[in-house]
Structure 1
Amino acid sequence: MTHPRPARPRVLTLAVAALTACAVVGGVGPAPASAEARSGMEQALARSEGTTVAQARQQIATENALSAKAARLDASLADSEHAGSWIAGDELVVAVTTDEAAAEVRAAGARPETVRRSQADLDAVQARLDRLARTGGAGGVLSWGADPRSNAVTVEVAAGADDAATEAFVAEAEELGAEVVRSGAEIRPLASVLGGQEYVIDNAYVCSTGFGARDSAGRPVVVTAGHCTEGASRFTFRGTTLGTHRSTRFPGDDWGTIAAASTHTLVAAVDTYDGSSVRVAGSTAAAVGANLCKSGRTTDWTCGRVTGLNRTVNYGGGDIVSGLTEHTACVEQGDSGGANVSGTQAQGVSSGGALYSSGGSLVCGEKVGQRNAAYFQPLNEVLQREGLRLLTS
């Protein structure tokens, strides 16, 4: 999975020149100035949503509160009693299967919606499809996972894919009651090329930094994508050593950790590519429908919304990754490992995206009039399984 390192486009060189601190952040950027940090996030969301900055500020506050409520309800309701939740305007909607669960949701200030399939039912379908993909292949199937809004597992298939493995997977999915949709995109991990802010792997290919953390001994660690660190030994940032390989989980999951060198200071902030940054205050997971912005060395700072949780993605060649979150921010090759945030809450590191051919390049959907679809590895799972503590400010 190595890729030749290309020349840096001039437009992104300007963003590098604007940096003033030699620090590794989610992206890489200056330490946060609190008012500027909030303003940068709000302005980016306002541009993405076509609203005013004041409206974006209120939207971020509302969605952060609703996402926290979703996390609490998800923890208190059994998988047989609910089937996920999503943000609709200024309210949280929770799919429930029992009257008791509906009462608990109302008491928490959310709106229940009664559905036929529970989370346990949807998880069982996804698990069947995951096993099929890992044993018999998934052909041209791009991704699959539960959608709380449709109360079904949705399966996305590349347009024109009609090989035996694809047909077998689709037949099994339809037998299990999944919804199958066709797409003109191809989904790829995003470890390769097209420059801006970056770190370099083995002097051969490039990715983006994610979040700073500390291990149980207090040592600094950079969290990034696993397909970036897989088989790698040397990581450099702006010409100096970023750190050494610590761990890799890919495929199956998609995270990697780098033991950071003492020459760099890890900052609890995410670069917004306008000379400012957004501080990282925690890692409360965003609900479906919440705002989401990502920082990466190819497409800089882009925003969208969370559209799905626990998605399984087929990157081809037997590389199948489960447990990813889907969103609609523009992500392209080289953004891998970059930071995804909702408000000031860290969400995860970029894993892959649906890319479309255009002029000999692969670009995100919005550049060719299509809907963006990108995926990140949720950060909380990484922190828990690696025994790390997120750096916050």
Structure 2
Amino acid sequence: MRRTRLAHAALAALLVLGGLSAAGTFPASATGSTTEPATSARSAEPAADGIVTAMQRDLGLTRTQAVARLAAEKAAATLAPEARRTAGAAYAGSWFDAPSGRLTVALTQEAPAAARRAIERSGAAVRTAEHSARQLDAAKARIDRLTAPPGVGGWHVDPKAGTVVVEVVRGKRADNDVQRFLSLARRTGPVTVEASAAPRTLAAGTVGGDPYYTGNVRCSIGFSVYGGFVTAGHCGQPGAGVSGWDHSYIGTFQGSSFPDNDYAWVSVGSGWWTVPVVLGWGTVSDQLVRGSAVAPVGSSVCRSGSTSHWHCGTVLALDETVNYSQGAVHQLTKTNACAEPGDSGGSFITGDQAQGVTSGGWGNCSSGGETWFQPINEILGRYGLTLHTY
């Protein structure tokens, strides 16, 4: 690995910003990371200065707004799993509302009054919903068992709308196979249909940059784990050798899954080592990783990749099924941060919390687009890995 870059990452003081904790009656708890609680002293600072700079550029925020949003998102990420446990069967989803800076929790009409009051006292806004999260998740699971034609881009639960959103590729709505799929999907529960672009993975042929290579494919490192790093599954098969930015040997794909999932991990050796750093590419400072608390829908998220480098956006949906040409991939998170070929496998991070590795998307960083990432905690759990944190 590039020694000068690592020295910079390891020694940089990295200006950090004070955070706010969630108010209310819920106890602090970890929200996804098995290695470090999200509310620990080491993760109290929401982000390094570079994250704030990137959010200013990509989300149109002032510095003050970016700092305040990161603090509010951190509080919401801590509050969300506690709100779900408090609501029980009446839970209908939650999301971060950027204008108010608060977590919004949807509850069915059957929610106990005590649970509603407890969630409101915690600082969250409460909305009434017709369908519970359990009902919506069940409807999506039934759609997951269908075979989607190429004209269907994907589907996910939208807690704000209280439905499962099925995305149809623009110009394909009248296709007979699409119509049959939509007819079957509507039988599973509440479904709405939206137009979208066709999703694709973001691997690329061998070009210059700061990537890793397997064969003639260039992808991007996601996050360091003890013993290696995680990345996208479509970038390589188990046993495939991996070389680094300088074409020296790094290690080997130890596990990989694509489609159905889009994750993999690569062992590291031959003089390479792991560090809890996401590269800023000179656009922002290199970022330290302190945990993997899941960011709710509506939160900001930034992405690092070997082609388009640093870009930020917003989490649009969790647990989306994406219908690539190679087959459906499940449990992806949807964002409007842009990406381009070669960014596959790269890092998604909110504040200092790892979120996932780039899977695919549509569009580019000139005209905009949407992307999906495979959540980091699922990858860690699947392979029994431990995230390398600072």
Bucket of the pairwise TM-score, normalised by the shorter protein: 0.7 to 0.9
Secondary structure of the equivalent of 1:41? Answer: helix
Residue of structure 1 in register with 2:165 after alignment: 154
Secondary structure of the equivalent of 1:87? Answer: strand
Residue of structure 1 in register with 2:309 after alignment: 300
Q: Tell me how far 1:107 sits from its aligned partner.
A: 3.1
Q: 1:54 to 1:376 in 2, by over 3 A?
A: same
TM-score w.r.t. length of structure 2: 0.84
Any conservation in 2 of the 1:340–1:350 contact (CA below 8 Å)? yes
1:233 matches 2:240: yes
Q: Tell me how far 1:36 sits from its aligned partner.
A: 4.8
Q: Distance in 2 between matches of 1:112 and 1:195?
A: 50
Secondary structure of the equivalent of 2:204? Answer: coil
Q: Distance in 2 between matches of 1:74 and 1:382?
A: 23
Q: Tell me how far 1:102 sits from its aligned partner.
A: 2.1
| Pairing 1:204-219 to 2, within 5 Å after superposition | 204-214=216-226
Q: Tell me how far 1:234 sits from its aligned partner.
A: 1.3
Q: Distance in 2 between matches of 1:44 and 1:232?
A: 36
Shift >4 Å, 4+ stretches: none
Q: Tell me how far 1:375 sits from its aligned partner.
A: 0.4
Letter of the structure 2 residue corresponding to residue 303 of structure 1: C
| Pairing 1:57-206 to 2, within 5 Å after superposition | 57-78=67-88, 80-88=89-97, 89=99, 90-97=101-108, 98-100=110-112, 101-133=115-147, 137-161=148-172, 162-175=174-187, 176-183=189-196, 185-193=197-205, 195-202=208-215, 204-206=216-218
Residue of structure 1 in register with 2:383 after alignment: 386
State the superposition RMSD in angstroms.
2.1
1:342 matches 2:350: yes
Q: 1:231 to 1:282 in 2, by over 3 A?
A: closer
Q: Distance in 1 between matches of 2:160 and 2:125?
A: 13
Secondary structure of the equivalent of 1:308? Answer: strand
Q: Tell me how far 1:71 sits from its aligned partner.
A: 2.7
Secondary structure of the equivalent of 1:31? Answer: helix
Any conservation in 1 of the 2:87–2:116 contact (CA below 8 Å)? no
Of all paired residues, the percent bearing the same amino acid is 37
Residue of structure 1 in register with 2:289 after alignment: 280
Secondary structure of the equivalent of 2:359? Answer: strand
Any conservation in 1 of the 2:318–2:332 contact (CA below 8 Å)? yes
Match of 1:320 among 308, 319, 328: 328
Q: Tell me how far 1:32 sits from its aligned partner.
A: 6.2
Q: Distance in 1 between matches of 2:208 and 2:341?
A: 10
What do residues 307-345 of structure 1 show as CA deviations (whole Å, max 9, x unaligned)? Answer: 10000000013x110100111111121111000000000
Q: 1:75 to 1:296 in 2, by over 3 A?
A: farther
Any conservation in 2 of the 1:201–1:232 contact (CA below 8 Å)? no
Q: Distance in 2 between matches of 1:49 and 1:387?
A: 35
Secondary structure of the equivalent of 1:54? Answer: helix
Letter of the structure 2 residue corresponding to residue 71 of structure 1: P
Q: Tell me how far 1:190 sits from its aligned partner.
A: 1.1
Q: Which runs of 5+ in 2 are unaligned?
A: 17-47
Secondary structure of the equivalent of 2:292? Answer: coil
Q: 1:378 to 1:197 in 2, by over 3 A?
A: same
Residue of structure 2 in register with 1:223 after alignment: 230
1:50 matches 2:60: yes
Q: Count residues in correspondence.
A: 349
Q: Distance in 2 between matches of 1:77 and 1:227?
A: 38
Any conservation in 2 of the 1:229–1:245 contact (CA below 8 Å)? yes
